[in-house]
Amino acid sequence: MRAVDAYTIQHQPIASIDLMEQVAAAFVTAFTAAYPHQQQAILVACGQGNNGGDGLAIASILAGKGFSNIRVLLTQFSQSPSADYLLNLERLKKTNPSIVLLTNPSELELLRDEIVIDALLGSGLNKPLSGTYAALVFAINQSGATIVSVDVPTGFSSEGEIQAPYQGIKADLAISFQLPKINFFFPESAEALKKFNVVPIGLKEDYIESLPSDWKLITNQWVSATLKPRENFSHKGTYGHVLMLAGNAETMGAALLATGAALHSGAGLVTACIPQSGLTALNVSLPEAMFLRREFLQKATLNKYQAVAIGPGLGVDKEQSQLLDYLLKQNQPLVLDADALNIIANNKHLLDKIPQKSIITPHLKEFDRLFGEHPNWWQRVETARQKAQALQIVIVLKNQYTFIALPTGEVCINPTGNPAMAQGGMGDVLTGMIASFMAQSYTCEQAAILGVYLHGKTGDALAENQGVIAASTLSKAIPKILRECHQ
C-alpha cells in the first residue's frame, strides 16, 4: 500500500499533502456515518509522522463539519516530524483548535465518553512499541474509551507476524484506505481491532492490480466474471459428474451435506459412494443423487467422473485407508477433506502421492496434523504457500477468512463468511461445492476460489436475517447466490 501511495503521488497530478487531505476526508465520511452526533467529545491523538498528519487533517475537517467538542493531542516524542505533519499543523492552528500537548503519557486525561481517534502511528511502524509510545498506548487502552484508528491501530503491523503478546492500541474500529491490510485477515488481529472498514481514496485500481504481489484478495468482480452461464441447449452432461466418497455409520450426515452441496452448486450429476446403511437416507433427502456401492469403487471407471472428492465423515479405519490409497494411485486430481486428510496425517508418506492439481481443504487442526504445529497464523500460511508450490496442489486453509494457497506460490484471501457459519457440517458443504465446480470444468484454482467465496457469500446473505446458519440451510441457499453472481 505504501508503494501504491508513492506511485500515486508520482504519477497522478496529486501532491502528498493533497492525498493526505483525501485520506482525511474519506476517514471523516466513514467516521461520521458511525458517530454522527456533532456534540460527541472526540480526542484526536496525533503522532508526528504522516499518520499524525492524517489526524490533524481529520480534526480540521471534523471542526469544519460542526463537530464542536474536539481536542487534539499532540505527542512531543519525536525530533523529526514529517513535512506533511508540520504543514497540517499550521493549517489546523488557523481553526483555533483545543490543543493538548503531551510530553508525559501519565498526564493523559480523557473526558467522559470521549472517543479517541488514534492517529499516533500507522503503517510506518518499524519496531515494537516501547517507552513513551508504549506507555501512552497502555493508558489509552486502559481508559475504556471507544477507539477508532486511522489506517491501522498504533503498534499493529500491517504485514508479517503479529507480535505476541499484542501491546498496541485495541481499536473498536480501524478505518483503512483503499485496500485492507493483509494482517486484518489473520485471527491474531482480533486483539487489535473489533472491526475494520476500508474506504476508497481514488488510487488507481489498474495500477494496484498490476503490482506484483503474492497476496490476492478475492473480489466479487472476479467471481462474477469467472462463473460461466448455463447455456441454452446445455444438458446434465454439460455440467460434469461428481463422485463423493464419504460417510460412515455415525457420520452419514457429512456425506449427505457434501453430496447435497455438490448438487446445489450446479454439477450435472452427483453420485454418492457411501456405506449401504446410508442409502435410505440418501434417497429420501437427495433423490437427485445416485449411489455407488463401496465394494464397486475399485471396479468403477473413475475417469467418467470429472471430480472425485473424498473425506467428509469417512472414518480412518483400514477399509477407508485402503479406499484412499486406491484413489491416490489413480493419478486423477482429487478433492481431499476431513478424514482423508487425517489418514494422510497418520501416513505422511502419502502426502507426496497426492495427485497434482488436487485440492485439500484442512481446517487449522487438520493442517497442523499434516504439516506440523505452528506458533502463529503467519507461519502457518507461509507453510501452506510452500507446500502448495512443492506439491503442485491447492491448499484451502479454512478459517473465518480462508486462505487459498495456489501452486504458483500466490495466496488468495477470502473476504466472505461470518461467525453465524461456525457450526458442524459447514466444511462438508464447502467440499461439495468445490467438487461441483471442479466437475463443471473450472481449473483447480478456480474451483477452490469459487467454492470458498460463494460458500461465505451465501453465509453472509443468510446472516442478514439469522444469527446461526445450519449447514443444510446454507446448502439450499447456494442456487440463489449463484444466480445473483452470474453477470
Ligand X SMILES: NC(=O)C1=CN([C@@H]2O[C@H](COP(=O)(O)OP(=O)(O)OC[C@H]3O[C@@H](n4cnc5c(N)ncnc54)[C@H](OP(=O)(O)O)[C@@H]3O)[C@@H](O)[C@H]2O)[C@@H](O)CC1
Ligand Y SMILES: Nc1ncnc2c1ncn2[C@@H]1O[C@H](COP(=O)(O)OP(=O)(O)O)[C@@H](O)[C@H]1O
Contacts (CB under 6 A) with ligand Y, residues 315-374: 338, 363
- Asked if 56 interacts with ligand X (CB under 6 A), we say no
Q: Is 337 in the site for ligand X (CB under 6 A)?
A: no
Position among 88, 123, 361, 475 found at the interface with ligand X (CB under 6 A): 123
The single-letter DSSP state of residue 91 is H
According to the binding rule CB under 6 A, does residue 458 interact with ligand Y? Answer: no
- Which residue among 74, 92, 120, 430 contacts ligand Y (CB under 6 A)? 430
Does 385 sit near ligand Y (CB under 6 A)?
A: no
Chosen from ligand Y, ligand X, none, partner binding at 427 (C-beta under 5 to 8 Å by type): ligand Y
Neighbouring residues of 109: CB distance < 8 A, sequence distance ≥ 6: none
334-336 and 359-360 strand pairing: parallel
Stretch of 67-75, 123-131, 392-400, 421-429 contacting ligand X, by CB under 6 A: 123-131
Q: Rule CB under 6 A: is residue 61 a binding residue for ligand X? A: no
Phi/psi at 85 (5° precision)? -60, -50
Pairwise CA distance, residues 487 & 485, whole Å: 6
Q: Which does 20 bind (CB under 5 to 8 A by kind): ligand X, ligand Y, none?
A: ligand X
105 sits near ligand X (criterion: CB under 6 A)? no
Q: Is 47 in the site for ligand X (CB under 6 A)?
A: yes
399 labeled part of a ligand binding site:
yes
CA distances from 377 to 181, 197, 288, 409 (A): 15, 22, 40, 17
Going across the sheet that includes 307-310, the strands are 215-217, 411-413, 403-405, 394-397, 359-360, 334-336, 307-310, 241-245, 269-273, 290-291
What does the alpha-carbon distance between residue 243 and residue 273 come to, in Å, rounded to a whole number?
A: 7
Q: Does the protein bind ligand X through residue 124 (CB under 6 A)?
A: yes
313 annotated as ligand-binding:
yes
Which of residues 5 and 366 has its CB atom nearest to ligand X in the complex? Answer: 5
Number of residues that bind ligand X (CB under 6 A): 26
Give the range of 112-120, 183-191, 232-240, 397-405 binding ligand Y by CB under 6 A.
397-405
| Nearest distance from C-beta of residue 124 to ligand X, angstroms | 2
DSSP 417-440: --GGG-STTHHHHHHHHHHHHHHT
Please tell me whether residue 118 binds ligand X under the rule CB under 6 A.
no
Element (H, E) at 448: helix 444-463
Beta bridge partners of 359: 335, 394
Cβ atoms 383, 357 nearer than 8 A: no
* Residue range at the interface with ligand Y (CB under 6 A); choices 92-100, 294-302, 378-386, 422-430: 422-430
Which triple of cell numbers denotes residue 68? Answer: 464542536
Q: Which of ligand Y, ligand X, none is residue 19 near (CB under 5 to 8 Å by kind)? A: ligand X
Q: Which of 120/482 has CB closer to ligand X? A: 120
Report yes or no: 147 and 170 within 8 Å, Cβ to Cβ: yes
Could you tell me the smallest distance in angstroms from the CB atom of residue 365 to ligand Y? 8
- Are the beta carbons of 414 and 434 closer than 8 angstroms? no
Nearest-angstrom CA–CA distance, 286 and 309: 18
Q: Which of 425, 436, 454, 482 binds ligand Y (CB under 6 A)?
A: 425
Q: Is 204 marked as a binding-site residue?
A: no
CB of 245 to ligand Y, least distance (A): 16
First to last CA, the chain: 30
230 binds, among ligand X, ligand Y, none (CB under 5 to 8 A by kind): none
Give 240 or 459: the residue with its C-beta nearer to ligand Y. Answer: 459
241/455 with CB nearer ligand Y: 455
Q: What string of DSSP letters covers 163-220?
A: PSS--S--EEEEEEESS--GGGGSGGGGGTEEEEEEE-----HHHHHHS--SEEE--H
- Per-residue x/- mask for ligand Y, residues 399 to 418, rule CB under 6 A? xx-x--------------xx
Could you tell me how many residues of this chain bind ligand Y (CB under 6 A)?
A: 18
Residues annotated within a binding site for AMP = 398-402, 427
Give the footprint of ligand X on this chain (CB under 6 A): 2, 5, 9, 16, 19-20, 23, 47, 49-52, 54, 82, 121-129, 133, 150-151
Residues annotated within a binding site for (6S)-NADPHX = 254, 313, 363, 428
